[in-house]
Amino acid sequence: MKFLIILTSLLMLAACGEIEAESARLKEQKKVEMENQGRVKVTRIARFHDDLAYQNNRGIYLIKDNKTGKEFIGISGIGITEIGSHWVGKSPVSDER
């Protein structure tokens, strides 16, 4: 009887670890897009687990200003940054500003 209880407990603990490991991975889903009067386009490109975030999830967003052509990348609850590039010789190199 004790052996059965210990075995059941170990199986339950092993299953809990797998659930946490699975939820910690970056989850790719279909892209969600929103456009504001043609000026700004926001696309959610991914979502990931974060214990400190609201409902334990954060989203990664691509924000494009159609008027200026600038692109930004943002993480919900963290902030945004401009995506840019510069030239090194004849090759463009991507960077964040």
Give the distance from CA 62 to its chain's centroid. Answer: 11
- Dihedral (Cα; 7, 10, 11, 14), 10-degree rounding: -160
Query: Is residue 78 pLDDT above 60, yes or no?
Result: yes
**Of 75 and 29, the one with more pLDDT:** 75
Query: Is residue 57 pLDDT above 80, yes or no?
Result: yes
Q: Which residue has the tokens 């889903």?
A: 29
**Of 1 and 65, the one with more pLDDT:** 65
